[in-house]
Structure 1
Amino acid sequence: MNGNRYYGVRVEGAKYGVGFGSALAIAISCTNNHSILWAIIHGILGWLYVVYVALFR
């Protein structure tokens, strides 16, 4: 039983992490590019775009 509870918490954490990464990527993209199309593309890429901006800008 204890293992099932741990697994549920782990899945929920991953779900929220992906959502936050996409929202952060969209916010950064809108600020930098002022384009809805790029914001959508960067929202799909999520954390990859956030890491790119952190490393190269």
Structure 2
Amino acid sequence: MNGNRTYGIRVEGAKYGVGFGSALAMSISYTNNHSILWAIIHGILGWLYVVYVALFG
């Protein structure tokens, strides 16, 4: 039973991480580009865009 609880926590954590990554990417993109279309595209990419901006932005 303990193994099932750990799995559930990991799945929920992954869901929240993906959602937060998308929201963060969209806000960074809109701040940099002032374009809703680019914000949507970068929101789909999520954490990839956040890491790109952190490294090269």
Q: TM-score, normalised by structure 2?
A: 0.99
Deviation at 1:40, TM superposition (A): 0.3
| Residues paired across the two proteins, number | 57
Q: CA RMSD in A?
A: 0.3
Which residue in 2 is equivalent to 1:20? Answer: 20
Question: Within 5 A, what are the aligned runs for 1:1-57?
Answer: 1-57=1-57
Q: Match for 2:47: what amino acid?
A: W
Q: Distance in 2 between matches of 1:10 and 1:43?
A: 22
Q: TM-score, normalised by structure 1?
A: 0.99
Deviation at 1:52, TM superposition (A): 0.3
Identity %: 89
Deviation at 1:35, TM superposition (A): 0.1
Cα distance per residue 1:29-48 (max 9 Å; x no partner)? 00000000000000000000
Instruction: List structure 1 segments (4+ residues) > 4 angstroms apart after TM superposition.
Output: none
Name stretches of at least 5 consecutive residues in structure 2 with no aligned partner. none
